Structure 1
């Protein structure tokens, strides 16, 4: 079906010159569609647009009455003033609530109120991803057999396999520490319970976003379907406790067993405090660390943070440490000389990122608070099932290496290959383009964003898009589409060299296949933090009678110095965390009682 524009002027029709190009109309159904938030996300947003602000209110302790009774009294007082109470923290003499500016001013004047501070936003600390890449029931026993191919570069760098698979045969060595009996609470965006790497590891979960006991990284839609989040929590949980031999779908030619975690027999507890967009609140972080503590967690891993300090949050972490929890958090990804919170609190182990060469990652926030570093660049781990795309292009039986664009649609399409030039308009695909579908070839360049090129091709009727690179040696590229247009068709890129060959297939059938796998490379201090949490679990499982402070000392004192640094360094802290060395340090300094 062709699409043509009829041109006219008020007062009569104007004849068009035969040589004047006529811009075709967009194919039906290809108009720009903004992603609508899910029903759950809309409700959360509406709750924020009512003229109130989220605050944390700390009251002065009362001499009489129980902590719970006092908390109920404080909460009732806030409600009488017109505030909407979200949660009470009896142990902290505090309340989280939404209040108007007038109520906040009144609270600040109340002699019983010690402080009113913002319930600030916390966010996931990962960088945008640029690299191609059974529901919960009875908790099973962790696998002990897999393959050495599951041992990622990150695992090897922190000495994890050297602890529990000394001979490298892909089988956990009997009697060696691998995390058994240690509970790590992952305070993050939740998880995907369908992922085989995590099925046997998760023993408890709590959703502080939706207020239920299914801490899944998803939003429910009105039609009964779900929209999955970005997989941040699934990735960090996998780095800590992915199972041996429990592989999901992997890239062609990849290790069929997937990946292993740093502590593959650890017990994971999932506390969801980040929504599907990666945002959360201070009050939910406080609730989560309190829940982790009440559930007897040994370690808390937080790949999130805020640039600003919170007095109440600091107090919550101090109390958790006093009760035996070891909190570990990411320093942040802005590259600034300032560590994010909660990582910057003295009682929290602050983790920065290095690459696999042991070089400080220039996005990793730094300062005197940095304790340790761990691998945080292109870390391979689990993600939302089927959400990580890879691409294949085939022309007349000849395969071409390609990389899917970030946020590409998933699917397979075969059709006539049509030259769409620079993709600068709908008309760039020419008269061969039809709404019945075709594969669009588009050259990189022309000052256009890739989403513009793909959108024009889609509006011309393309059911798949190939973008050819214009720089030699740049491979297929690491290009991205944005998420504000939906749905994208399968969209992939090829190298300059392959683009020249593919152009010889114009007019012939070409197949573009963008499929989803269950693992992805991600970058950020978010990815470094779970490496340290996993190593802490290994150290603790080597001697369960260690205290949280003894485990911290073992991690820091045994760390590997990098780049010739001596002492505590603002970028590297004490150095690269080392599992085998930390266990040796703990065995020597804190030997088990006879």
Structure 2
């Protein structure tokens, strides 16, 4: 992380005169009195601007570099004075922005070998060769990349770390590795495949999040700049915040107009009509989320800035090695597809299957048995806790509505493995009460996440995939082609839920072949 180290040789009293006020550096300020802001200097006024910061009692904590801007900590009362400096273009609060995933790692069902996540086929990535993607670079701004991962280690990847946690090749938040897997998980004998699975695409990772999953806007702005300086064709940001940031907007404009870069960001997970940034900027593509049935995800934000959509519900992808979970369940000779509850301990239990009803009270009749529990009445943690308190050794909660589901135990601490199953699986298990049941929740290198964070890498990866076949197209033309070739969903034409619709790789490729770039 670059920091400003220039010598302040200017006399402080002279700078104070420029403000028309006594210097504030000598005024003690507690941590509560201080604020972190971004200060952008006017052209040719960098040195004078730094001196003005010092006179205001400020301390530079990040030099964005290349855009005459720094992040500064200073007394809150000094902000207005700094804004009036003739050397300063603007001052804005350096607010936090966040990774846009909704869930912690949830256990996918155990299936041997390699799986193709539903989103790969939904965006038509399986119909387009990625053999030409050696000419494209996707820059992922996120929480890092697990370089030791079995499905990621052989990619063409490099990066840098803008945090104080680990390195770009580690991922304490798990989020960036999940995003990267959707872009480029390798076609091998294990795990999953990404949109670009054959180790041809170039990846550049800029780590901005530590385990907290949040970072100041200035850090993300610097990451955007670093993407451009390292040859990114596509910048992918599964992140955002509720407030626009002038510096990020300037860099997004520069990436688009000066570096011919396509900038893509998540629309946000608030489930309302608010706008998240950087997705809301004119030169950033805002991505909404869909489920496996191409229905709008209820958490996905809806507003006129939404431009295109991608798969974002129960997306299976990579997480740092051993940090996810996988789940399985058998009763008698029948294996069932189940999901591990988030918060379930790892382990295996084998015992006779017993009907535990709704699990809303304890029952000694299930002691030493696996509890089969219907969803409803009380929360999952209560159901599993009651099973455990009754002497149960494992729990299977089946749905009271069609299909399977993901669930969490929240803050409850349990000691027995617990999984969720579909309504049809539960109905079938009810015919096998008393038979031997085995429930397993085990460590995994993969997980199911929800969020516009998961939709964004689908779009970013498709953009790189299609663009690699027609590298002479401009970023603006690629953006136009992706929008015009998207599968229209919802109201006819562009709408606030789906934008132009679901991104489609083969349709975009065919459109360029027949009509040319951007048409």
Do they superpose with TM above 0.5? yes
Pairs within 5 Å for 1:167-566: 177=132, 179-210=133-164, 213-218=167-172, 229=173, 231-245=174-188, 247-248=190-191, 258-262=192-196, 264=198, 265-321=200-256, 322-393=258-329, 402-413=338-349, 428=362, 441=371, 443=373, 448-455=378-385, 464-469=393-398, 478-482=406-410, 484=411, 489-493=416-420, 496-497=426-427, 500=430, 504=434, 511-563=438-490, 565-566=492-493
Residue aligned with 1:380, SS: strand
Q: 1:404·1:514 contact (CA, 8 Å) conserved in 2?
A: yes
Residue aligned with 1:91, SS: coil
Change (3 A) 1:358 1:75: same
- Which residue of 483, 491, 495 maps to 1:569? 495
Change (3 A) 1:423 1:305: same
How far off is 1:348 after superposition? 0.9
How far off is 1:191 after superposition? 2.1
Distance in 1 (alpha carbons) for counterparts of 2:355 and 2:197: 51
Q: 1:188·1:272 contact (CA, 8 Å) conserved in 2?
A: yes
Query: What is the TM-score with the length of structure 1 in the denominator?
Result: 0.70
Residue aligned with 2:327, SS: strand
Q: Partner of 1:155 in structure 2?
A: 120
Q: Partner of 1:122 in structure 2?
A: 97
Residue aligned with 2:128, SS: helix
Change (3 A) 1:83 1:453: farther
How far off is 1:241 after superposition? 1.3
Distance in 2 (alpha carbons) for counterparts of 1:101 and 1:299: 37
Change (3 A) 1:454 1:473: closer
In structure 1, stretches of 5+ residues that fail to align are 1-47, 64-69, 134-147, 165-171, 219-228, 249-257
Residue aligned with 1:530, SS: helix
Change (3 A) 1:553 1:498: closer
Distance in 2 (alpha carbons) for counterparts of 1:536 and 1:445: 41
How far off is 1:270 after superposition? 1.3
Query: What is the TM-score with the length of structure 2 in the denominator?
Result: 0.79
How far off is 1:456 after superposition? 6.2
Distance in 2 (alpha carbons) for counterparts of 1:473 and 1:445: 9
Q: 1:326·1:348 contact (CA, 8 Å) conserved in 2?
A: yes
How far off is 1:345 after superposition? 0.7
How far off is 1:573 after superposition? 2.5
Change (3 A) 1:51 1:163: same
Distance in 1 (alpha carbons) for counterparts of 2:269 and 2:401: 29
How far off is 1:577 after superposition? 2.1
Q: 1:196·1:246 contact (CA, 8 Å) conserved in 2?
A: no
Distance in 2 (alpha carbons) for counterparts of 1:442 and 1:49: 53
Q: 2:98·2:213 contact (CA, 8 Å) conserved in 1?
A: yes
More moved, 291-300 vs 185-194:
185-194
Change (3 A) 1:572 1:393: closer
Q: Partner of 1:104 in structure 2?
A: 79
Residue aligned with 1:92, SS: coil
Q: 2:371·2:392 contact (CA, 8 Å) conserved in 1?
A: no
Residue aligned with 1:332, SS: coil
Q: 2:366·2:387 contact (CA, 8 Å) conserved in 1?
A: no
Q: 1:551·1:586 contact (CA, 8 Å) conserved in 2?
A: no
Deviation per CA, 1:285-337: give whole Å up to 9, x if none: 11111111111111100111112111121112112222222111111122322
How far off is 1:417 after superposition? 8.4
Q: 2:353·2:432 contact (CA, 8 Å) conserved in 1?
A: no
How far off is 1:279 after superposition? 1.9
Residue aligned with 1:191, SS: coil
Which is higher, the Rg of structure 1 or of structure 2? Answer: 1
Distance in 1 (alpha carbons) for counterparts of 2:355 and 2:511: 64
How far off is 1:105 after superposition? 4.0
How far off is 1:153 after superposition? 3.0
Distance in 2 (alpha carbons) for counterparts of 1:446 and 1:573: 35
Q: 1:402·1:492 contact (CA, 8 Å) conserved in 2?
A: yes
Q: 1:338·1:365 contact (CA, 8 Å) conserved in 2?
A: yes
Distance in 1 (alpha carbons) for counterparts of 2:489 and 2:309: 10
How far off is 1:235 after superposition? 1.8
Residue aligned with 1:198, SS: coil
Residue aligned with 1:180, SS: helix
Q: 1:405·1:481 contact (CA, 8 Å) conserved in 2?
A: yes
Provide the aligned length of Structure 1 versus Structure 2.
Answer: 479
Change (3 A) 1:277 1:461: farther
Residue aligned with 2:79, SS: helix
Q: 1:160·1:263 contact (CA, 8 Å) conserved in 2?
A: no
Distance in 1 (alpha carbons) for counterparts of 2:295 and 2:386: 42
In structure 2, stretches of 5+ residues that fail to align are 1-29
Report the RMSD for the aligned CA atoms in angstroms.
3.6
Q: 1:562·1:575 contact (CA, 8 Å) conserved in 2?
A: yes
Distance in 1 (alpha carbons) for counterparts of 2:302 and 2:332: 52
Q: Partner of 2:53 in structure 1?
A: 78
